[in-house]
Amino acid sequence: MPEECYVTLSEAKKMLDEAGEERELNLTQKFAQEHASKVARLSVEDAKNLQAELADMKFIPENVQIKIVDFLPEYPEEVRVLFSKERMILEKTHIDQILSAVGKYK
């Protein structure tokens, strides 16, 4: 069984596209592929670069990094929502760092 890991929508789309070339996707996979195609806003390369930049900010857990890459928040309130289930309080400087990093990829 493959190792589980977090992937961005861009990476999921790429994986599903590649799998679709090799074999027939089941209905759930087709819906996921269609959703990823419509919602993913970054290329796989840009998504990985943004995630790497966010990973350098040691205060962001990996699951939240993925949410940030997929959602691309524009406002402090949106960043706070993405961190709402985490047991931490974000400082304004952290929010500004995140928005600055995301702004490079819009």
Question: Do residue 32 and residue 59 come from a single domain?
Answer: no
Question: Do residue 67 and residue 93 come from a single domain?
Answer: yes
Tokens representing 35?
């959703």
All residues at 6 or more sequence positions from 92 whose CB lies less than 8 Å from its CB, including other chains: 76
pLDDT value of position 2: 67
Range of the domain at 60: 44-103
Compute the average pLDDT of residues 34-62: 97
Model confidence at 106, in pLDDT bands (50, 70, 90)?
A: confident
Determine the angle formed by the axes of helices 9-22 and 44-56, rounding to 10 degrees: 140
13 within a domain of the structure (yes/no): yes
Question: Do residue 29 and residue 51 come from a single domain?
Answer: no
User: What is the domain count for the chain?
Assistant: 2
pLDDT value of position 17: 97
pTM, two decimal places: 0.90
Tokens representing 102?
């995301």
81 within a domain of the structure (yes/no): yes
Tokens representing 65?
């990094």
Residues 55/65, Cβ–Cβ less than 8 Å: yes
